[in-house]
Structure 1
Amino acid sequence: MPEDNEELKHIVRILNVDLNGHSPVQMALTGIRGMGRRNARLLSQKADIDPNETLGLLSDEAISRLREVVEAAQSHLPVWMTNRRKDLLTGEDKHLMGTDLVLTQREEMDIIRKTRSYRGIRHERGLRVRGQKTRSTGRRGATVGVSRKKK
């Protein structure tokens, strides 16, 4: 940390998300939905920025470079690192981040609910979707214990 904190930006805005300026670049970028530590490290290196450098201490030019790389993340990431491989609607590989990811997931959930697929019905009922056992786990909400007979 430098002695004069005048140049430290406390909040840096990338992809409509306020990121903490006090944390390292790779950790701050994980505040964006759809961005993990590995992606953040790779994208910060693509922008010629040290991933361990404090985000708020970067120059405006470096932040704009980082912003451009993050917005065009799909072209910088290898196919196996993308989060939407073989998209249901388009069939192409995508990497979605921020509000795009949230909206796409919500639309997909609506589709599987409307088609009344097994997964959709399980989601509606709040049950396990991926084949887990439900006999003794996943109990939340109202307790089902044994009730005593009144005398």
Structure 2
Amino acid sequence: MARIFGIEIPNEKRIEASLQYMYGIGNTTAGRILEQAGIDPDIRTGQLTEDQLVKIATVIQSQGIIIEGDLRREKQAQLKRLTSINCYRGIRHKRGLPVRGQRTRTNARTRKGKRRTVGVKK
């Protein structure tokens, strides 16, 4: 398996798809990286030379694309800031409810979790 910034990406897939295994790189970003590095997106990752892997790494660094641990830390810090200032979004994150205004009377099961039935005693 090829390694870029210590992250292993699969050899048998196209390089455009393999780059997306890195947290923080999606379809559009992968295409842009390959275009600037001058690499054909249809080539398999296993067929890349060391020079081409280094080119990809330098493009990622020069573009200032935040990936993997740094991106995770940044997102975690943003959530921590929201919860610490007790804004509406922070409170929703704390309680595990939908943050972006979705309805919760029905649905929202992904955020709220499995239903807990409340029994009625006579």
TM-score normalised by the chain length of structure 1: 0.72
2 CA distance for matches of 1:12 and 1:138? Answer: 40
* Cα offsets for 1:74-102 (capped at 9, x unmatched): 3xxxxxxxxxxxxxxxxxxxx42221110
Aligned length: 120
2:95 paired with 1:125? yes
Report what 1:100 is aligned to: 70
Report what 1:58 is aligned to: 48
Structure 1 segment 107-122 matched on structure 2, within 5 A:
107-122=77-92
Deviation, structure 1 residue 64: 1.2
Report what 1:32 is aligned to: 22
RMSD after superposition: 1.7
* Cα offsets for 1:49-94 (capped at 9, x unmatched): 10110011111111111121122223xxxxxxxxxxxxxxxxxxxx
Structure 1 segment 17-96 matched on structure 2, within 5 A:
17-74=7-64, 95-96=65-66
Report what 1:82 is aligned to: none
Q: Are 2:34 and 2:56, in contact at CA under 8 Å, matched by a contact in 1?
A: yes
Matched residue of 2:103: which SS?
coil
Q: Are 2:16 and 2:31, in contact at CA under 8 Å, matched by a contact in 1?
A: yes
Provide structure 1 residue ranges, at least 5 long, that are not aligned to the other structure: 1-10, 75-94
C-alpha distance 142-55 of structure 1, shift in aligned 2 (>3 A): closer
2 CA distance for matches of 1:141 and 1:49? Answer: 44
Q: Percent identity?
A: 29
Moved over 4 A (4+): none
TM-score normalised by the chain length of structure 2: 0.88
1 CA distance for matches of 2:2 and 2:61? Answer: 15
Provide structure 2 residue ranges, at least 5 long, that are not aligned to the other structure: none
Match of 1:144 among 108, 116, 119: 116
Q: Higher helix proportion, which one?
A: 2
Matched residue of 1:99: which SS?
helix
Matched residue of 1:119: which SS?
helix
Matched residue of 1:130: which SS?
coil
Deviation, structure 1 residue 109: 0.6
2 CA distance for matches of 1:138 and 1:25? Answer: 36
